[in-house]
């Protein structure tokens, strides 16, 4: 880990896209949704990342602040042509269901996020994708069979996380690649 402002840029020859999380400023000792924009867009450009993300906490104590963080990053990203995804955050006391993730994903898209990273829920995930007008990336978590079945059945505008798609130990990536093309 590099101290702030001394991080090394992503080498131009790198073929793996890097998305930089730009929101933060809290610790596990305080309310997690109390974040600010911690990285300037100019620094993200200097680091040669392909997108700059922020967490959005709908329904939390600091909801307004997290939405404002997304808006600020989207405005700065638009000036430089930098995509800004939103990551749906869930507080400890919040319900992790399709209703919540539908609302959080839709609000993030309405605030300008070019895509949304959210969690997969087994019941009603089609509601999450139907309510969100931008692509959705499924956040990490369990490698559940229902998520694979849902994606391979043609789930709308959803891309699973790369580690899940290719798997570090996968000996047969071809079926997974076919699944993505559908």
- Residues tagged active-site: 117
* Pair 103, 58: CB distance under 8 Å: yes
User: What is the helix (H) or strand (E) element at residue 158, kind and residue range?
Assistant: strand 158-159
The token pair at 170 is 């996968």
Distance CA 107, CA 32 (A): 19
Distance CA 113, CA 165 (A): 23
Nearest Cα to Cα of residue 59 among 35, 88, 24, 28 = 88
Nearest Cα to Cα of residue 181 among 146, 151, 145 = 151
Instruction: Please give the full DSSP string across 96-117, using - where no structure is assigned.
Output: -SHHHHHHHHHHHHHTT-SSEE
How far CA 58 is from CA of 69, 90, 91, in Å, comes to: 12, 8, 9
3-state secondary structure of 137: strand
């Amino acid at each position: 880990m590099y101290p702030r402002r001394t991080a090394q840029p992503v080498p131009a020859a790198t073929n793996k896209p890097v998305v930089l999380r730009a929101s933060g400023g809290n610790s596990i000792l305080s309310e997690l949704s109390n974040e600010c924009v911690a990285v300037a867009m100019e620094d993200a450009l200097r680091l040669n990342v392909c997108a700059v993300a922020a967490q959005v906490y709908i329904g939390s104590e600091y909801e307004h602040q997290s939405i404002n963080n997304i808006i600020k990053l989207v405005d700065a990203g638009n000036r430089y042509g930098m995509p800004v995804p939103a990551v749906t955050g869930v507080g400890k006391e919040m319900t992790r269901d399709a209703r919540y993730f539908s609302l959080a994903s839709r609000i993030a898209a309405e605030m300008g996020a070019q895509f949304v990273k959210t969690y997969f829920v087994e019941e009603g995930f089609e509601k999450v994708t139907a309510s969100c007008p931008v692509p959705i990336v499924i956040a990490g978590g369990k490698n559940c069979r229902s998520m694979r079945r849902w994606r391979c059945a043609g789930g709308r505008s959803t891309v699973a996380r790369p580690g899940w798609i290719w798997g570090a130990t996968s000996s047969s990536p071809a079926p997974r690649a076919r699944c993505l093309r559908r």
